Chains A and B, each alone.
Chain A
Amino acid sequence: MTDRQEQIWIDDARRGDQEAFAQLVHLYEKRVYALTLRMCKNPADAEEAAQEAFLAAWQGLAFFRGESSFSTWLYRLASNACVDLLRREGRHRSAAGPSLNDEEAAVDVADDAPSPHALAERAELRQQIEEGLSALPEEYRQVLILREMHQQTYDEIAEILSLDLGTVKSRINRGRKRLRKILLESWNFSATPASKQAEKEGCK
């Protein structure tokens, strides 16, 4: 599959060719579903949101003019579909987890903690990350998934989520710190008074 082939499918689908659109669905279903699964947090909602995203893409192809990549545009539709679904079901806030004002500040990393780096070899880390993502506020989960799983740039994430660049930077920064903290805590790490002192001082 080349970019050229994808462009041909997009052009054909825009002209109403359902077969071409089916090729695009096959090409992107995994990526879109991977996104909605983490954003909606349950498979049934994720499938519905992914389906809505593709239907919206079919309906709105005339509005896609290639100024962003097709994937970026599609992720935006998927993100919107998730938000709509959660809002419709009244679960938007409850799924968001703790307040954004709840800074990760208090506890950080101790020198001798088993860091995620050290745990990278372990198969459990992936599972821990999945669980950590679920525990993150939605705003942080979105940006991290788009960044780490879909390799989107900050500009692309801003476009997908209709945020300004500064907000994207801030959310990635906070989201990553919070995820790191969750990972460390999930390995039964608790900061000692000495390490807390070290945190306060930081490095010089």
Chain B
Amino acid sequence: MRYCDDYAALLDLYVDGELSPEEMSHVQDHLDRCPGCRAYVDDALAIRAAFPDVEETEVPAGFAEGVMARIQTDAIPQKKPTPWRKVLPTLAACCALVILLRSVPGMFSGSKAEAPAMAAPAMTTESASDEKSEAVFEEPATIMDRQIAADSSDAVTEVAEAPAECAAPQEAEKAAGGPYAYTDLSGTVYTSILTLPPEGAELMAAYAPVSESGTEVQYELTPEEAQALLVQLETATFSYQSEDGIDPTTDMILVVLSK
């Protein structure tokens, strides 16, 4: 005998304990009178009773050791949440610049399609892929974070539409004078920048520069190297610039040594 259509949707909820006490009682009353629905519930419970048990599952030998070996031998790093306090000022600065420039009559008379696509798309891509890779870890309660990320993406999109002045984050950052995220041509993202005066040359001699211009030398430091350098700088006789609270656990750190 078939279960009642009126109760079809309630029977599973009843079996799974997803009804309120009043609803449970209501369905129970019906089950007392209806053999069709009762058969369905009995079958569902019988299936549950005979359902394969987790404890009977045989895990392949050495499974846990295999996981740990991959973590150790491949040195799989633990990801860290993006420190928004560092990224947001950059994006805010770019947005402010865009708004400012758009407010200038004649500055944006053309359509968006005419806006030059400069270096910023690389940053957009980076940001988008980060968001994607982190999405899997998100819990529902992090909607706020997601909103921030979405807002940030919007902001970055704005950057992509911006003229050359804002296309290079480094330039914008210098104007803003705060901490920034810098993307170089290879796609490496620096979330911390340390600027040293010429007196820092001696300390930096231990590192190989990644680029050099007439006015400055740039070095890429791993978080560990940066931490060691910060310790040395504590006793340095010269002053240097770093954003408030360099986080040595974040991405690569760029050191800019002035000549």
Q: Are B63 and A149 in contact (CB under 8 A)?
A: no
Q: A residues within 8 A CB of B37?
A: 203
Interface size class, chain A: 35 or more
B63 touches A50 (CB 8 A): yes
Q: State in angstroms the CA–CA spacing of A63 and B80 once bound together.
A: 8
Looking at the assembled complex, report how far the CB atom of A38 sits from the nearest CB atom of chain B, in whole angstroms.
8
Which of A30, A37, A62, A150 contacts B81 (CB under 8 A)?
A: A62
List, in ascending order, chain B residues with CB within 8 A of A41's CB: none
For the complex, what is the distance from the CA of A120 to the CA of B46, rounded to whole Å? 6
Q: How far is the CA of A51 from the CA of B79 in the complex (A)?
A: 17
**Closest Cβ neighbor of B35 among chain A residues:** A203
User: Looking at chain A's contact residues, is the secondary structure mostly helix, strand, loop, or mixed?
Assistant: helix
Least distance between A86 CB and chain B CB atoms (Å):
16
Interface of B is mostly: helix
* Per-position binary interface string of chain B over residues 53-66, scored 1 when its CB falls under 8 Å from any chain A CB and 0 otherwise: 11101011001101
Instruction: Please determine whether B4 and A202 come into contact, CB atoms closer than 8 angstroms.
Output: yes
Residues from chain A with Cβ under 8 Å of B8 in the complex: 173
Which residues of chain A from 1 to 36 have any CB-CB distance to chain B below 8 Å in the complex?
14, 16, 18, 21-22, 25-26, 29-31, 33-34
Asked if B42 is at the interface (CB within 8 A of a chain A CB), the reply is: yes
B9 x A115 contact (CB < 8 A) = no
Q: Which residue from chain B places its CB closest to the CB of A122 in the assembled complex?
A: B50
Smallest beta-carbon distance A85→chain B, Å: 14
Q: Mark A183-204, 1 if CB is under 8 A from B, else 0.
A: 1000000000000001111111
Does residue A92 face the partner (Cβ distance < 8 Å to B)?
A: no
B1 touches A (CB below 8 Å): yes
Residues of chain A at the chain B interface (Cβ within 8 Å): 14, 16, 18, 21-22, 25-26, 29-31, 33-34, 37-38, 43, 47, 50-51, 54-56, 58-65, 67-68, 73, 76-77, 80, 108-109, 111, 115-120, 125-126, 129-130, 133, 147-150, 153-154, 159, 169, 172-173, 176, 179-180, 183, 198-204
Residues in B lying within 8 Å of A, measured CB to CB: 1-5, 8-9, 12-13, 15-16, 18, 34-37, 39-40, 42-55, 57, 59-60, 63-64, 66-68, 70-72, 76-81, 134, 136-142
- In the complex, besides A25-B67, A76-B136, 15 extra interface pairs with C-beta distance below 8 angstroms are A16-B78, A18-B72, A29-B63, A30-B54, A43-B60, A51-B67, A51-B70, A67-B139, A77-B136, A116-B46, A126-B52, A176-B44, A180-B40, A201-B2, A203-B2
Sorted nearest first, the 10 A-B pairs with minimum C-beta distance are A63-B137, A60-B137, A203-B36, A67-B141, A34-B57, A117-B46, A120-B46, A199-B2, A117-B42, A125-B50
